[in-house]
Structure 1
Amino acid sequence: MSEANTPRPRGEIFEYAGATVELVDANTVLAAARVNPVELARRGDWPAPVQRVDVTVSSVDVTRGVDVTEGADSTGGAGEKAHVFVARIRAGAEEMTTERMRRMVLGNDPIGLLLSKRIADGDPMATRFVDGVGTAAAAAYKKLGFDRTANPAANRGSGVFADAGVGLVAEVAYEADGDVVRLRAEVPRDEVTATHLRAFVTLTLQAVTELAGPDALRGRRYVFSREATPAPAPVTTQQVTLDMVGGLADVVGELRQIAVSFRHPEAMARWGARRPQGLLMYGPPGTGKTMLSRALANEIGADFREIRTPEILDKWLGGSERNIKQIFRDARRYRVPTLMLFDEFDSIVSYAGGGGDAASQALNAVAGIFKQEMNDLIEANPNVIVVATTNFPERVDESLIRSGRFDIKISVPRPDEVSRTEIFRKMIQGLVAAHETEGFRMFADDLDLPALGVASTGMTGADIKEVLRRVQMTKAMQDARTGGRADPITQAELLGAVRALRGRG
C-alpha cells in the first residue's frame, strides 16, 4: 500500500540531543507551501525557559521580494522562486508570583513538609502564615530587582546556524524584546528537498538546546506535522480546516483563492479588484457543503454566523421581512471578519415570483429584500462574506444568485473513487490521532483504503462518517462486554459496515 493511502501518515523518525523527533510527510509539506504558508504543529512540552516554538514553510519570489504564498502570482514573472523556512522560539523566565515564592518558602526540609501537610489538611493558620511570608518575599524579590533575571534570548547579536551536510544556513536574530529567537533559511525552489526541511528542524532544536541546556530535550518526543495537533477528542465541525477536507481538491482550491482575496484587501485595492461578496455551493445532501463553509471561515480567520430558516420565516404578517432586514442590519455593523451562512437557501427564497398565496408572497418579499441588501453589502462592510448552500439550485430564482450578488457558484458533487479513498484516509487518521494511545490500537494494519473507496461507490462524506460511527459503536459494545479485550477494527468489519449502510441495514 502506498504511503498516501495508509491511515497512519508515515514520518521520518530521528533523534536529536536525546529527543525522538518525527517529521511527517515532508514532501507534501514542501508541495503545499508553494500555494499557502504551512505551519508545522509541534506536539510535546518544551523545556524551560522555552515556552513556544513556531515553524513555518512558505514560498517567495527572491528577485522581486514577493511572498508567493500570500496571494501573488506564483506562475507569472521571471523572478526566482525559493522556499523559506522560519522558526520563532519564544523564551522567558518564570514570573515570580506569590504561589511560586510559596513553593520556595515551603521547600523540602522537615518544617516545610510539616507546613505542606498542615495546608493540605486545611489548616487556615498555616495557610495564612505561609501565604503571608510568600507575599512579603515576592514583593521584596521584585523590589530588589531579582525578578529581572536576564532572559537567555536577550542581548545577543545575530549569527548563523549551519548544516554543512546539506548546505543549509539559517540566519539567527533576536527580536527587540529579547524574548524571541528567529531562525530563517532560504532554498531555491528547484533545489529544495525533504532533507533541507529535516535539517532546518534540527537547527531549530539546536537553538532550543542553546537556550535550555544540552540535556534539556533528553527523553522527550516531538512531532512536526502539517496536520493540526490533534485534540483529546475528534476534531469537531467548528474546528475543521481546508487541510482536513478529504477529496474535493478543485473545490478546496477555489475556496483557498477566496480566502486569500479576503485576507489581503490591500492587494485587491492596489489592482482595483473586487473580491467575491457571495458564494453559492450546491450539490446532493451529505457532500459537505456546510462543513466546507466552516472550513472557509476558519481559513479566513472569520467568525461563523449560521442563519437557518426559522430565524427568517415568520407566520405573522411582515415578520419575515423584518427578520431579514435585521440580519443584514447586524451584518453591516460587524467589526471583525464574518462569514454568514444561509443554509438550505432554497427553503428561504425558493420559487420567488411564483404563486399568489400568502406563503409565496412572503417568500417573494424576503427574496426582494435579500436582493436589495446584497447589492451593496461588500461596500457597506468589507468584513462580511455571504455563503449560501442548497441541495436544489433549480428552486432558487436566478436573479437572486446572479453575478454581483453571488459571484462564485461551486458544485459540490458526490465524491468519486479517489475522493472517497481520501475521505476514509482523513477520517481514520483523525480517529487514530485522537484515540490511539500506548498499548491501544484502534485500527488493524490490514486496512486497504483504495478497496474501501471502491466498495463505497455512491456514498457521500456523511455516509462514510456513518460507516465509521457504526463500527466504532460495535467495538465499544464488545469492549464493554469483554472488559477491554476488543480487537482493532479490521478491513472486513469496515467493508461489512459499508455493505450494511448501502443496503440501509
Structure 2
Amino acid sequence: MREGAAMTVSFEYAGATVEIVEAGTILAAARVNPVELLRRAAFPPPVRRVELTVSSADTPAGPVHVFAAEIGTTTGDIPDKERIRAVVLGNDPVGTLLAKRIAAGDPIATRIVDGVGTVAVAAYRKLGLDRPTERESQTAVLADAAAGLQAAVTHEAGGSVVRLRAEVPRDEVTPEHLTAMVRLVLQAVTELLPPSTQPLAGRRYLVTRENIPTVVTTTQEVTLDQVGGLADVVAQLRQIAVSFRHPEAMARWGARRPQGILMYGPPGTGKTMLSRALANEIGADFREIRTPEILDKWLGGSERNIKQIFRDARRYRVPTLLLFDEFDSIISYAGAGGDAASQAINAVAGIFKQEMNDLIEANPAVIVVATTNFPHRVDDSLIRSGRFDVKISVPKPDEAGRAEIFRKMIAQLAAAHEEPGFTMFAGDLDLGELGRLSHGMTGADIKEALRRVQLAKAMQDARTGGMVDPISQRDLTASVRDLLGQR
C-alpha cells in the first residue's frame, strides 16, 4: 500500500490494482451528500455492475457514515433469452439440431424456439416463479479485522443482487474504513466469479468522486486537482481545506481556522470556480449569494435580507461554503456618499461586519468566501483580519500556467468523449506553443477557444457524416488568434 502526493492509497487485490484517491475528502463530502463510487467500473461476467455509496445518517446512537454496496449479476429470477432457449432446446437430438440451426442464423428455427420461449416466460411469471421468496434471501457477514469493519451481506432475488452495508460512527470513521469496505466489496465480487487464483488479473479500479471515465466538469463539479495554472492559489486553498476538515486538531492547539476568504483578480481568472472547488475539497454544501438576494428597493429590506442570510448560516447542520460573488456590487464604497443609496449600502456593510464578527463561534461548519474584480471598491474595515483572514490574489495565468490549463482541459474533454474509433485530439499538440500564443488569456478565454473548435468540428461532422479529422494544432492556433483578434 502506498500514499502519493495526491493522497492516493494503492493496493493489489485478486490480481487487480486498486487506487483510492483522497479518501478523507470522500468521507468529508459524504457528510453532505451521498458519494457514488465504482459506478462505471467494469468487472468480469457474470457481474454486470457494482455500485458503492458512502453517505451520512442520523441514528439513535448518533450520526454515522454508511457504506452501502450493490452488486448485480446476470443471474436473476426471470430468465433471459439465452436461458429460455437452453430450457426449450434441452440436450436431446432435436434440441441439438435446432441449436445448430440457430447458431447458423436460420430465421425459421429461431422464431420457433423464441416463440416457445415467450410462452415459457408467461407461464414462469403466472406461476409466480419470478418473485423471490423469503427463503431465497440469505444474510451473512464479511469483516476486515485490521480496520474493525463488519459488513452485512444480503443475497437476494435468486442471487442476482448482492448487497453490503456497514456503519461507522461519524466521529470514528477514517480512510482505513473506506479502504476496508472497498476490499470487502471486491471480496464479494470475486466470490461470484468463476474459480481462479486471480479473477481480476490485469484490471485497474480507481475509487474517486469523479466517475470513470472522467467526465467534463462544470464549475459545479470541479475539484482543485482539475484547476490549472494557479498552483500557488490551489496550495493555499488546500491548506484551508485541511484546517476545515480537521477541527479536532484545531481544537487541540487552540488554533482558529480562517473564517473568511477574499479572492480578487481580473474577470475570467476562475475565482468562482475556485470557490466551488474549495467547497468540494472540504466536502461542503455550496451556497452562492447574489446581489438581488440582498439589495432591496424598499427601506430596510436589504438589512433584513443580510441578517436572514447569516441567521440561516448559523443554523446549517452540515459544512457549508457561503459565496458572496461580485462582493463589491453588494457592499461597495462603504462610508462614501450621503444620499439614500449610499446610506443603504453603508447599512448593509455595517450589518455584514457585525454578522461576521462571531460567525465562526456560532457555527464553525460555515466558511465565507467573497470574490471581487475590484478590491479597491471594498472598504478595508470590512475585510480586515478576523473577518477575512485570508486574501488571495487570483492573477491571469502566465505562459506555463496557460499551457497547463490547455493540458487539463484537453485531457478532460478527451476522457469524456473519446472512445474506440473516435479520436478527438491529434497526438502531436504543442501545448507549450499554445501557452505562448495565448498571451493575456484567462482560463475562461481558453475554455472559449476550445468551445469554438469543438463547435466547428461538430458542424463539419454533421455536414459530412463523420469524415472529420481530430482537432489539430492548427485548429487550436487559429481559434486562439481569432479570439485574441476580437479584443
TM-score, scaled relative to structure 2: 0.71
Match of 2:138 in 1: 148
Q: Deviations over 1:193-241 (max 9, x none)?
A: xxxxxxxx99x98996566335685798545488933568521211100
2-side partners of 1:333 and 1:444: how far apart?
52
Match of 1:460 in 2: 442
Match of 1:292 in 2: 274
> Within 5 Å, which residues of 2 pair with 1:40-189?
44-47=41-44, 51=50, 100-103=76-79, 107-108=84-85, 109-110=87-88, 117=118, 126=122, 130=125, 133-134=128-129, 138-139=132-133, 142=134, 145-148=135-138, 154=141, 175=150, 177=152
Q: Which of 203, 212, 222 is the aligned partner of 2:193?
A: 212
1-side partners of 2:270 and 2:400: how far apart?
16
- CA 1:320–1:263 in structure 2 vs 1: closer, same or farther (change >3 Å)? same
- CA 1:90–1:458 in structure 2 vs 1: closer, same or farther (change >3 Å)? same
Deviation at 1:102, TM superposition (A): 3.8
Amino acid paired to 2:42? D
- CA 1:101–1:257 in structure 2 vs 1: closer, same or farther (change >3 Å)? same
2-side partners of 1:307 and 1:315: how far apart?
17
Match of 1:343 in 2: 325
1:268–1:275 Cα contact (<8 Å) kept = yes
Q: Does 1:433 find its partner at 2:415?
A: yes
2-side partners of 1:119 and 1:348: how far apart?
70
Q: Deviations over 1:360-417 (max 9, x none)?
A: 1111011001001101111111111100000000000000000111111100011011
1-side partners of 2:268 and 2:478: how far apart?
21
- CA 1:53–1:334 in structure 2 vs 1: closer, same or farther (change >3 Å)? closer
Amino acid paired to 1:44? A
Deviates more, 1:209-218 or 1:275-284: 209-218
1:232–1:435 Cα contact (<8 Å) kept = no
> Within 5 Å, which residues of 2 pair with 1:294-333?
294-333=276-315
1-side partners of 2:52 and 2:320: how far apart?
29
Q: Deviations over 1:79-123 (max 9, x none)?
A: xxxxxxxxx996868799xxx434499944349965864699xxx
1-side partners of 2:354 and 2:285: how far apart?
24
Number of residue pairs aligned between Structure 1 and Structure 2: 403
Match of 1:496 in 2: 478
2-side partners of 1:225 and 1:493: how far apart?
35
Deviation at 1:471, TM superposition (A): 0.7
2:84–2:117 Cα contact (<8 Å) kept = no
Q: Deviations over 1:435-476 (max 9, x none)?
A: 001100010112011111111111100010011011111111
- CA 1:118–1:277 in structure 2 vs 1: closer, same or farther (change >3 Å)? farther
User: Following TM superposition, where does structure 1 have runs of at least 4 consecutive aligned residues deviating by more than 6 angstroms?
Assistant: 21-24, 88-96, 155-158, 171-174, 204-208
Amino acid paired to 1:439? G
2:328–2:372 Cα contact (<8 Å) kept = yes
Amino acid paired to 2:344? A
Q: Which of 437, 443, 446 is the aligned partner of 2:425?
A: 443
Identity value in percent: 62
Match of 2:387 in 1: 405
1-side partners of 2:336 and 2:144: how far apart?
74
Match of 2:348 in 1: 366
Deviation at 1:175, TM superposition (A): 3.6
1:297–1:303 Cα contact (<8 Å) kept = yes
C-alpha RMSD over aligned residues:
4.4
1:324–1:370 Cα contact (<8 Å) kept = yes
1-side partners of 2:211 and 2:320: how far apart?
25
Q: Deviations over 1:176-208 (max 9, x none)?
A: 647599xxxxxxxxxxxxxxxxxxx99x98996
2-side partners of 1:155 and 1:205: how far apart?
11
Q: Secondary structure at the match of 1:133?
A: coil
2-side partners of 1:477 and 1:269: how far apart?
58
- CA 1:406–1:173 in structure 2 vs 1: closer, same or farther (change >3 Å)? closer
Q: Secondary structure at the match of 1:250?
A: helix
- CA 1:214–1:344 in structure 2 vs 1: closer, same or farther (change >3 Å)? same
Q: Secondary structure at the match of 1:370?
A: helix
1:230–1:434 Cα contact (<8 Å) kept = no
> Within 5 Å, which residues of 2 pair with 1:7-18?
none
1:230–1:430 Cα contact (<8 Å) kept = no
Q: Deviations over 1:419-448 (max 9, x none)?
A: 111100000000000000110001011201
- CA 1:221–1:174 in structure 2 vs 1: closer, same or farther (change >3 Å)? same
Match of 1:278 in 2: 260
Deviation at 1:478, TM superposition (A): 1.0
2:142–2:152 Cα contact (<8 Å) kept = no
Match of 1:71 in 2: none
- CA 1:381–1:119 in structure 2 vs 1: closer, same or farther (change >3 Å)? farther
Deviates more, 1:212-221 or 1:464-473: 212-221
- CA 1:285–1:449 in structure 2 vs 1: closer, same or farther (change >3 Å)? same
TM-score, scaled relative to structure 1: 0.68
2:88–2:117 Cα contact (<8 Å) kept = no
Q: Does 1:382 find its partner at 2:364?
A: yes
2-side partners of 1:254 and 1:484: how far apart?
45
Deviation at 1:497, TM superposition (A): 0.9
Deviation at 1:147, TM superposition (A): 2.4
Q: Secondary structure at the match of 2:304?
A: helix
Deviation at 1:340, TM superposition (A): 0.5
